[in-house]
Structure 1
Amino acid sequence: MTSTTTSAIRAGVDTLRFATAGSVDDGKSTLVGRLLHDSKSVLTDQLEAVEHASRNRGQDTPDLALLTDGLRAEREQGITIDVAYRYFATAKRRFILADTPGHVQYTRNMVTGASTAELTVVLVDARNGVVEQTRRHAAIAALLRVPHVVLAVNKMDLVGYEAKGFDRIVEDFAGHAAELDLPGFTPIPVSALAGDNVVERSARMDWYGGPALLEHLESVPVGADPTGAPARFPVQYVIRHGEARHYAGQLASGSLRVGDRVTVHPSGGTSTIEGIDVLGEEVREAYAPQSLALRLTDHLDVSRGDMITSGPDVPALTRDVRAAVCHLADRPLRVGDRVLVRHTTRMVKAIVTNLTASGSAELHANDLGRITLRTAEPLALDDYADSRRTGAFILIDPADGSTLTAGMVDLSETAAAI
């Protein structure tokens, strides 16, 4: 661990989870490597290993892309084939980076990496501009409701650091973003190879008045006001202490206080919070994403998978679910397939009753589409646009337990409560 990382942790600074995405050979691995190197987030032995590997390849300077391509098989092929997570910190913020592959056949990997990200860096080669995979990555960022998007136009050194080409790419991307209803994005011209506008602002692009990439990553707002979202508490464990029952789990959103009137879904039972324990200590109030244990004044039938909520803003209770999805498995998904739905801590049986995909009646690996499910038991759902935790689910193969599909609930198309 570097001294910068240590001091950041001691200071109690916040954490930004972000993902990178780009087409093959856009220089994404080099950008991430430059970010880690120039922010002094690389250990000495890691840098020495990269320098040694670079010399073996006949390169005079370190190939910073090797800092992210951690698997030997990836290095031999010269591509990144999986999501590589990196952890680093500056004096202002901690970072969790999901470096996702660029090939179209690994779209599902980007979905995995960006599903919990608060920011996505979409990389574009300044010579090629916006290409099909750029549009696909933007569509996934919009689908996953990633709050912040950076358009990093890379390899500016190969186009003479000229503003004209950069402006053209930004205009092209803006048009596509508007069609997707993508939130506002931040365009940054960079040269990962030379280090321009990655950690430090570049004097070679004096026409650009915005921040360097790291500067933006350090300043972009992180997280939401925990009191601004409705309280959602999926029960993970029921712990019995004599006659008392404690309901343990992680608060997905909002806050809970002793004395709050709560509802248990799907049963509809109501009670009052008698006590809250966090890390073995009694507290009066708890906020997402804290892990806690609740005690209620009434003896209700509460079990794993139930959702405890407070306030008038309750989730939709339904057995008919429509959602946007990305299919993750090699096995196709078809109408009539029987699956398991994993939503927060709840697992229910379901059947696929309808499915739409581009040019096909079934979903294949990496396909984006829409499905309709009929579940055996009701689910307490939020719109994915409102909550990325309680509006998301995964489909599981009941035969072998493998993950099939990632889903994002759209309540504007979800059937009325049963």
Structure 2
Amino acid sequence: MPAETSSRKTLRVAVLADSDTRWKWGALTARRIAGDISGADAAITGFLLRGRATPTARQLGEVGAGLPAPREVTGTEFLGLVRGGPYDVIVLALVGGSVQALLHGLARLWPQPARRPVLVTGYVGVVYEKLADGLLLRHGADLVLANSPYDEERFRAVYEGVGADASCVTRAALPFLGGTPYGGVADTVVFAAQPSVPERRADRTYLLRRLVGHARLHPDREVVLKLRSKPGEHTTHIEELPYQRLVRDLAPPPNFRLAYGHMGDVLDRTGLLVTVSSTAALESLHRGIPTAVLTDLGVREPLGNHHFLGSGCLTSWDRLDAGHRPEADEQWLVRHGVRTPGDPYDAVRAKLAALLAQPRLAPPAPYYTAGTATGYLPGILARHRLDEAPPERGSGVRQAVRHAVREAARGAYRHGVQRVAPVIRRMGEL
């Protein structure tokens, strides 16, 4: 049940994520929005929604969330855990379909106005594709966070365009923007790789050849390939052609190296950040680091670099090799949430405090229902096994056996998806 806000009490927050990057967003968002809510302390508990992108312990350790490792659960298990009302706030840091399924599951727990948790969701980074689809799948949460004034306008327009309530849209910012401002002394060039952009082997090989070529052209600089995951690990997107495997054939020079770990630690030593469209560009721009968004493969929606139109950051490897350092447009930075006057979470905390103070909240009311999305919603719920009401807890040996069988099946499925399937696909390309 929500905590009383008249005196100092512990605000209990649950974060449910489905990948390492969404765990980072969800955990850091929870810390930002739960801070100083009418004098309440915060206790944040993490959960991972079991699936093909479930991160490893190494990935979770490099996120930098500063919280204990989250517990792995299914959607129905999570609903069972929150059924008794131990949480005041639930942050759904999930892909859109999972958010929608959980919202319907939570609506079944509280079908009438009740003292229920406040439901919060949003996006882990740049929203450059599936805007309407992703937003409507998130509708039904009490707060849908927008990372910038630009996103806030777009989010409201989508909801209002279908006649849905847009009052849930609340401006915030990416919670991991921060770090030491750039001092203009570092000369390290960092390429921030992305798991799925670009997808084609030829395009990824091209980017690596140019990065290695830049290292050879400038032997006095350290050139770093910043990677999100190691082979066999998965993040928000499945990576079929890992860069660290492709680079082996290019014989990089001694001043070239690979890097993993927390992006903030890498940016501490970066003098130029290069990417196609990674959210790391926003982290870099926030610090004032020269940031290059490549046009070599075109400025195209599937690449996501069209998001940076007007930023002053679009450039090419030819120009970078010749010494060009992009200068970002200040108005673009403000409009896209990179420069945020004041605390960008003030409005979120104000809305959250007002919701927590209400004696009862209406049931979650997603835009998609059996009436508005008859051919779409049932499939989403079925994929998450939430097409029926969460079953009551079983008892004794039967429950233990069923749990063990499910765990074994899930382990085999994950091994097939994460290990065997990529190998088969690569063999098919030979």
In which range does the TM-score fall when normalised by the shorter chain?
A: 0.3 to 0.5
TM, length-normalised to structure 1: 0.33
Q: Name whichever structure is richer in strand by fraction.
A: 1
Instruction: Say which one has the larger Rg.
Output: 1
Q: Name whichever structure is richer in helix by fraction.
A: 2
